[in-house]
Structure 1
Amino acid sequence: MSVFIMVAGVFTGAHVWEETAARLIAAGSTAHAVPLTGIDPARPAAPSHVGLETHIEDVIAAIDAVDVASGREIVLVGHDYGIHPVLGAADRRAERIARVVYLDCGMPQNGVPALAAVPDQALRAQLAARAEAGEREGVLAPPGRDEWERWGSTADVGEAGLERLTALSAPQPLGTLLEPLRLTGAVAAVPVSGVLCARNGAGIDQVQRLVDFGDPALAALTEPQVTFFELPTGHWPMLSCPDALADVLLRAAAGEGHRLRPAGDDAPAPAHLRPFPLDVPELPRDRQGHVDLYVPDGEGPRPAVVFVHGGPVPAGARPLPREWPTLVGYARWAAAEGMVGATLDHRLHDVADYDRAAADIATGVDLVRSDARVDADRIALWFFSGGGLLTTDWLTRPPAWLRCLAASYPVLAPLPAWGMAGSRFHPARAVGQAGSLPIVLLRAGREAPELAATVDAFVTAADESAARLELVDVPNGHHGFETLDAPEETIPALHEAMRSVVTHLTR
């Protein structure tokens, strides 16, 4: 059996682990929640004396307190910010650690402070400015009762859980967020498990998609000693589902879990590189900057459909998104219907890049409209997946030349883990300003629940504002259904959507 040493996230102390620890103990394991100096009442300290290094020492002390002669393996569990002191301690006691469990958190790197993992982008910028000004010894006040969502999804926590979280929260010493994590590399040999809380915005399928893009930084996630689990809950599973969390921790300690498929020549083709399901003409591309045009034969100018990929997509992903078979297939299909089909690349490499990606799209659309073969007054935009948030500007101020906006399995509101509270990229709020703009929405019936919720919110807002929304359902479709699901399930919906877009462009 194992000794579980658990470290909580920002503003929270050992108390959040009470139920999970009790269940681990009942299963025959030992469980110890580490009281962190300056946060937990058991270890008071002036904020000026507390940094990340302080908390690393707290965890090392807990490791050293385990009797080596007991023969029990130590499993370190870090939630949220807690993964930083966990990794710092594991790096110095690597020979003592059987496994590190990343509980709904990022993957901290050597030399990077925990500030980089603060989900709220605006707050992260404010704290960085304070650090630049030399303000490093203060504290960050804990969230109020209705502000926890800015730090992660509170799904399934419940009213009592939120009251408890708020009542027992403590200010976070700034030094814990600003002090860089220092690693020697020893921790790299320790087996790891990731526990993803799907309602906070990421599940195993999403991580596999990122690996499939071929980003070298993610290759380590496919190594044999790395396993994954997924919980259908929000960011605080120790409060929302302690039984399920305890079970997952026990299984992780036993080396169980899902293993990701490596990207590469020997792996099956990932979804974004599988063939387009329709037989479309092999038109050549005409590359113009970051845009590829597929132009039908005959006289112009012609209406155009601009296809906008989703993301985030790692910067080093190859082929480029505008070359993916699905987008190329759509563009060639539009050309077969007498339109100019266009695909473009935008720099949505991280959830902090939406402003930059929006500017790339606007520039690309201007480039398409300026082409002599295009009727600049008849343009449709078609968005996919995480690119759905990029519909916001077009919904808020639809220009007269935008005749239709389409979206396939889109994300239509920021997910909690993305830290975009207050961001302008919120289509579910913007749709009320769309006026008479026709909107064609392809909805996947088997979408991930956290993404489906954003679509539901958008549809409700569209209904309340009398927006011109046309729903095209793929009842058994998954996210990326063109290449994932049987053609007989998807092709009728694709035809219906394309007919609608073409009609809006040509009437």
Structure 2
Amino acid sequence: MTTYVLVPGFWLGAWAWEAVAAELRAAGHEVLAVEPGHEPEATAESHVDEVLEALEKAGPAVLVGHSGGGPVCAAAAERARDRVTRLVFVDTGPLPDGVAQIDFNPPGAQEWIRARIAEHGGVQPMPTRAEFAQLGTSTEGLDEETFAEVHARSLAEPAGVILTGARRGTPDASLPKTVVACSFTEAQARELIAAGVPAFAEMAGPEWSFAELPTGHWPMLSEPAALARLLAGLGEPT
């Protein structure tokens, strides 16, 4: 039996993991899904604190972060190394110390995101499907009904979470780390690693592995059973 702590990405709540959690629990595992705070004063650092609190409750666990939750989990794992047995990035990766999620976007997208935040009083609502396409985020695997439901349940992301970065420590090379690649391939990631792109360069270490699950950026919604099986396999002793 393995314990999993699941951290959703931007605009999502713990509900996004419901199908994955059900599959894992049916297989005998323990699951704790984190509910990120969406209060106006929330920041990347406050989200790290929420993950640390969950790890304290869960005990040693496989820590799983999706999308914007990935950099948060990287920082949390460095502060609670004894509580994490494996770090899993679902269609995401770590960011360097203090680098904000917005910095991962090209200049045009950054300008658009900042404008949206200003228009909505300090928060960014979840983009529409067409806006995601313009931003280069894949919604593959989600039919129109599912995307509409997700969009209706989404919560606006506070500016502080998007515009600030988490404080990083020193990555522990003894901690196994896996990237579940959904909207990109391992080959594409390795090209970016070789090029020294900040969000990928850290993945060059021998403790890193890749698992491909081609289904778009939200596998917990488009392929929950497949993602659960993959996570269950990663939870097995190495």
Q: TM-score, normalising length from structure 2? A: 0.87
Q: Equivalent residue of 2:19, what SS? A: helix
Aligned residue number for residue 111 of structure 2: 125
Contact 1:103–1:195 (CA under 8 A) maintained in structure 2? yes
Shifted more, 122-131 versus 98-107: the winner is 122-131
Quick one: which of 168, 185, 190 aligns to 1:208? 190
Quick one: which of 80, 91, 97 aligns to 2:67? 80
Q: Equivalent residue of 1:229, what SS? A: strand
Deviation digits for residues 251-303 of structure 1 (CA, Å, limit 9, x no counterpart): 222367xxxxxxxxxxxxxxxxxxxxxxxxxxxxxxxxxxxxxxxxxxxxxxx
1:165–1:209 CA distance, 2 compared to 1 (3 A): same
Shift of residue 157 of structure 1?
Answer: 1.2
Shift of residue 156 of structure 1?
Answer: 1.4
Of structures 1 and 2, the larger Rg is shown by 1
In the alignment, structure 2 segments of 5+ residues that lack a partner are none
Quick one: which of 135, 138, 142 aligns to 2:126? 142
Aligned residue number for residue 51 of structure 1: 43
Q: Equivalent residue of 2:68, what SS? A: helix
Q: In 2, distance between residues paired with 1:12 and 1:196?
A: 19
Q: Equivalent residue of 1:75, what SS? A: strand
Contact 1:106–1:117 (CA under 8 A) maintained in structure 2? no
Aligned residue number for residue 83 of structure 2: 96
Quick one: which of 144, 160, 166 aligns to 1:175? 160
Q: In 1, distance between residues paired with 2:68 and 2:77?
A: 15
Q: In 2, distance between residues paired with 1:195 and 1:219?
A: 16
Aligned residue number for residue 244 of structure 1: 226
Paired amino acid for 2:215: T
Contact 1:77–1:100 (CA under 8 A) maintained in structure 2? yes
Bigger relative contact order, structure 1 or 2 (CA pairs below 8 A, ≥6 apart): 2
Q: Equivalent residue of 1:207, what SS? A: helix
Q: In 2, distance between residues paired with 1:112 and 1:155?
A: 28
Could you say what the CA RMSD is over the residues aligned between the two structures, in angstroms? 2.7
Shift of residue 125 of structure 1?
Answer: 2.7
Q: In 1, distance between residues paired with 2:108 and 2:204?
A: 33
Q: Equivalent residue of 2:55, what SS? A: helix
1:112–1:28 CA distance, 2 compared to 1 (3 A): same
In the alignment, structure 1 segments of 5+ residues that lack a partner are 39-44, 257-507
Deviation digits for residues 309-344 of structure 1 (CA, Å, limit 9, x no counterpart): xxxxxxxxxxxxxxxxxxxxxxxxxxxxxxxxxxxx
Aligned residue number for residue 101 of structure 2: 114
Q: In 1, distance between residues paired with 2:93 and 2:202?
A: 14
1:121–1:244 CA distance, 2 compared to 1 (3 A): farther
Aligned residue number for residue 363 of structure 1: none
Contact 1:20–1:242 (CA under 8 A) maintained in structure 2? yes
Deviation digits for residues 76-122 of structure 1 (CA, Å, limit 9, x no counterpart): 1111101122122212101211111011013311121121234x752
Tell me the number of residue pairs that the alignment of Structure 1 and Structure 2 aligns. 235
Q: Equivalent residue of 1:31, what SS? A: strand
Contact 2:6–2:31 (CA under 8 A) maintained in structure 1? yes
Contact 1:8–1:16 (CA under 8 A) maintained in structure 2? yes
Aligned residue number for residue 9 of structure 2: 9
Contact 1:94–1:186 (CA under 8 A) maintained in structure 2? no
1:247–1:152 CA distance, 2 compared to 1 (3 A): same
Paired amino acid for 1:22: A
Alignment of 1:413-428 (within 5 A): none
Q: In 2, distance between residues paired with 1:165 and 1:113?
A: 24
1:219–1:125 CA distance, 2 compared to 1 (3 A): closer
**Identity rate of aligned residues, in percent?**
34
Deviation digits for residues 123-149 of structure 1 (CA, Å, limit 9, x no counterpart): 313456899x9x9x8111222354443
